[in-house]
Amino acid sequence: MTYNKAYFQELIIEQIAGTISEEESHLLNEAIQNDSQVKQLWDEMQQTLNSHKAQTFFNNIDENKAWDKIEPEIKRIKSINPRRKDVWKWLSVAALLCIAFTVGYFWRQIPVNNSVVAKKDFKAPAIELRMANGQQIDLSDTSKKVINIPFAHLNKGANGLSYQVDNNKSEEWSTLVIPSKLNYQIVLSDGTQVWLNSVSSLRFPFSFLGKTREVYLTGEAFFKVAKNAAHPFIVHTGQTDVKVLGTEFNVNTYQANETVTSLVEGSVSTNGRDKQKMLLQPGYQAVYKSGSGFRAQPFDPTVELAWMNDIYYFHDTKLHDISDVLLRWFDVKVVFDDPAKADEAISGAIQKNKPIDVFIQNIKASAGVTAVLKEGVLHIR
C-alpha cells in the first residue's frame, strides 16, 4: 500500500469523529490491518486523543467558537426550502462537522514526532539536469539551494529551477528529466515558464542565441512563453513543431502516434512531419496523428490542465488508457489478468497526492472488477 501520512491522519480523524464515508472507512480498516505504518499511526492517534490532556481539551472547548468555525461549511451547502424532517438532517450534519473540526484542531496542536513512522530504505526517483558534458545534477536534493556550474548559477526554489548565465554567448544545451510520480517547473533564460508533467523531459539551451528560441519536449508540458516578436519560440516534439511569439499552451506527446497542442491564450502555428500545418485559436486544440494529420477540436482547460494541480480527469475512458497514467504518476504497472477488462470504460478522477488505494477502491465499485496491488503491479481481472 502506498503510505501517505497526512492523508491517513485525515481519515483517522474522520473515523474518530464519525464523519467518514463508508468507502473511505473500508479503505482505512484495510490499511490498518495490512499496513504496519498505518496501524502504528492509528494506535498513536487513538492513544493521544484518548489521553487525559485530550479529554481536558474537549471538556473546555467553547461550543460557540467551534460553531463559528464550521458555520461557513454549512452555508456552502446548497440552499434548500427545509421541511421538518430536513431540519434534523442538517442539524446532524452540523453536529458531525463540529465534532470533526474539534478532533482535527486538537490533533494539529500536537507536535509531530518524526520517529513515529519508520521510513523505508529506498532511493526516491530524482529530478535530474543532464549536462552536455555528461554531468548529472540531482535537483531533488533539498540540501542545496544554489548550485554553481562553470557558466551559470542554478537556483532551486519552492516552485522549481531558475538560473543566471555568466556568459550569455554560450548556448550550453542541457536536458531536464522528470521521473514518474513527480512534476517540476523551470524558468528559461528569456523568462519563459515551463511546467513539466511526470515522465517528461525538456532539452533546452541556457541562452537563446539565434533568431529563434527552440526547445525539445517529450511527455507533457505547459508553456507560458515570454513575448518576443523578433525571436519566435519553437517547441519540437517527435511529430510536430509548435511555433509561437508569446502565449500559453499545453503540449502532450504521451501517446506514441499522437501529439495534442492545446491553446489557452494567444495563437500558435503547428506543423506536422508530413508538412501539414494548423493555426490555432484560444480554446481549441490541434490533435495530430501519424497518417491522418491534424484535426481541431474545442477543449476544457480545467480538465486538460488539471495535471498541474495533480489531478487527472477521465470520462468514459478505457482502463487500458488509464493504466498509462498510473505508471507515470505512481510508478505502478497494470496487468490485465482478464484481457477483456482492459476495454472497460469508466469516468472519474485520479489524485496524485492520494494513495493509489483510493483509485483501486473506486474502480472496484464503478467498473465491477477485482483489483489487487502486489509488489508494484496492479492486477485487474
Domain ends where: 244, 271, 303? Answer: 303
142 plus 86 within the same structural domain: no
Strand 200-205 relative to strand 213-218, pairing: antiparallel
The reply to whether 314 and 299 lie within a common domain is no
Residues 225 and 324 grouped into a single domain: no
Q: Give the total number of structural domains in the chain.
A: 3
C-alpha cell at 95: 453536529
Phi then psi for residue 107, to 5 deg, are: -60, -40
Has residue 324 been placed in a domain? yes
pLDDT tens per residue across span 124-151: 678 999 998 889 999 987 777 898 888 8
CB 358 within 8 A of CB 351: yes
What is the domain range of residue 274? 128-303
**Which grid cell is 42?**
492509528
CATH number at residue 141: 2.60.120.1440
**Mean pLDDT across the stretch 41-60?**
62
Q: What is the mean pLDDT of the chain?
A: 80
245 falls within a domain: yes
321-362 confidence digits (pLDDT tens): 999 999 999 999 999 999 999 998 888 899 998 889 888 888
Cell of 311: 489531478
Alpha helices by DSSP H, the chain: 5-17, 22-34, 36-49, 52-59, 63-76, 84-109, 301-304, 319-330, 356-367
Q: Examine residue 132 and state whether it is found in any structural domain, yes or no.
A: yes
Residues 221 and 136 in one domain: yes
Is the Cβ–Cβ distance between 351 and 310 less than 8 Å? yes
Distance CA 139, CA 143 (A): 10
- What pLDDT is recorded for position 283? 96
Question: Do 297 and 314 sit in the same domain of this protein?
Answer: no
Q: Which residues, listed in sequence order, are joined to residue 249 by a DSSP beta bridge?
A: 223, 263
User: Residue 356 falls within a domain, yes or no?
Assistant: yes
In this prediction, residue 234 has a pLDDT band, given cuts at 50, 70 and 90, of very high
Neighbour tally for 103: CB within 10 Å: 22
Contact assessment for residue 281 and residue 263, using Cβ atoms and an 8 Å cutoff: yes
The reply to whether 195 falls in a domain is: yes
Share of the chain above pLDDT 70, in %: 73
Question: Which residue type is seen at 319?
Answer: L
Higher pLDDT, 60 or 202: 202
If you average pLDDT over residues 106-117, what whole number do you get? 46
Whether residue 280 sits in one domain with residue 347:
no
Q: Is the pLDDT of residue 118 over 50?
A: no
**Residue 289 and residue 143 share a domain:** yes
Split at pLDDT 50, 70, 90, the class of 17 is: low
Q: Residue 281 domain-assigned?
A: yes
Same domain, 362 and 271: no
> Is 104 in the same domain as 142?
no
Domain end (from 109, 138, 163): 109
Same domain, 246 and 318: no
CATH of the domain at 318: 3.55.50.30
Q: What percent of the chain has pLDDT over 90?
A: 47
Are residues 259 and 334 part of one domain? no
pTM of the model: 0.70
The burial of 322, by beta-carbon neighbours within 10 Å (0-12 exposed, 13-18 middle, 19 or more buried), is given as buried
Q: Is the dihedral of CA 98, 99, 100, 105 positive or negative?
A: positive
Kindly state whether residue 154 falls inside one of the protein's structural domains: yes
Cell 494513495 belongs to residue: 355
What are the b/e assignments for 73-88, b being 16+ CB within 10 Å? eeeeeeeeeeeeeeee
Query: How many of the other CB atoms lie within 10 Å of CB of 250?
Result: 22
The yes-or-no verdict on residue 301 having pLDDT over 80 is: yes
164 & 215 share domain: yes
Q: Which of 256, 276, 303 finishes a domain?
A: 303
Q: In what order do the strands lie in the sheet with 213-218?
A: 136-138, 128-131, 173-178, 200-205, 213-218, 233-236, 240-244, 268-272, 277-280
Taking phi over 0 as left and psi of -120 to 50 as alpha, with beta for the rest, 230 belongs to alpha
Tell me if 121 is assigned to some domain: no
- Cell numbers 485487474 correspond to 380
